[in-house]
Amino acid sequence: MKLAFSTLGVPGLPIPDVLRLAAAHGYHGVELRAHPEEPVHPGIDLSRRADVAAEFKAAGVEILGLAGYARVAAPGDDEPVLQEIRELLELARDLGAPFIRVFPGGGTDQSPGEADATAARRLGTAAEYAADLGVRILLETHDSHRTGADAIRVLGLVGHPRVGALWDVMHTWLGGEQPGSTYAALSPHLGYVQVKDIASADDTTPLPLGAGVLPLTECVELLSREGWDGWLCWEYEKRWYESAAPLPGLLGAGREHLSRLLNESA
């Protein structure tokens, strides 16, 4: 498995500094938070996109994916959501990123069936565009669909190889789902896995990997046992928790922790 970290942990940090952190601490890739607060988002022009792609190539670091904020199950018209996804897909193509992340985002005034159908309809439409661009759309286990069992209801309806799953280990744990059950549901569709750690279900402030309660050891052992060889991406939610320790000082120990888990599970 290859290791990455998300720029959600280093809000607003310029790309050259992100790349220096990745290279210095032995990470193979970076997940880019695609938001206007950040250096890379759908609003940047073609010249800047080419520059970013060249910077990553020169550093020998891969762009794992773009973490977007489209909410595919949200109530309302389809077109604004589809346009947001199309813009993310085009940015991913221009940067050479294989994946974009979308959220479920179902509303409280929808039934689960309505939310599933809305998400599947939009993802099915977007999948054709993704196929033309050579990018894959990943539905994250999050908010209204936080478990693998939730996500597979949508993915099963879509049935397109350009639409898959992003397993966020915190949300499936908060949803009460065991790692084995999550993997069984998502494995045919799994793009990559987001790892993190927290103190408890009531305190989700990010912690160094291994310092909290999330079943990281069990997840890595399971993935290794099943022969899965994708990416583990550390999503440290510094942007949402200003009091959390700065990520740069934790990256080295985080990589060592994941490497140790991988070695022990081999």
């993802």: which residue's tokens?
123
Q: What percentage of the chain has pLDDT greater than the value 70?
A: 100
What was the pLDDT predicted at 196?
Answer: 98
pLDDT single digits (tens) 146-190: 999 999 999 999 999 999 999 999 999 999 999 999 999 999 999
Segments of the chain scoring below 50 in pLDDT: none
Question: Using CA atoms, how far apart are residues 147 and 45, in angstroms rounded to an integer?
Answer: 36
> What span, in angstroms and rounded, lies between the C-alpha atoms of 263 and 91?
35
Separation of alpha carbons 170 and 141, rounded Å? 9
Residue type, 188: P
Sequence letter at residue 179: P
* E strand residue ranges, the chain: 2-6, 29-33, 62-71, 99-103, 136-140, 163-168, 190-195, 231-234
- Give Cα 260 distance to the centre of its chain: 22
Tokens, residue 93: 């193509």
What pLDDT shows up at residue 93? Answer: 98
Q: What's the pLDDT score for residue 266?
A: 81
Question: In sequence order, what are the residues at sequence separation of 6 or more whose Cβ sits closer than 8 angstroms to the Cβ of residue 82?
Answer: 122, 125, 126
Beta bridge partners of 192: 166
102 vs 85: CA distance, rounded Å: 8
- Cβ atoms of 153 and 179 within 8 Å: the answer is no
Residues in CB range of 26: below 8 A, 6 or more apart: 3, 252, 255
Retrieve residue 140's tokens: 């994250």
pTM score, two decimals? Answer: 0.97
- State which amino acid sits at residue 108: T
Vertex 180: Cα angle to 6 and 65 (nearest 5): 20
Six-digit token string for 121: 């309809």
- pLDDT at site 256: 98
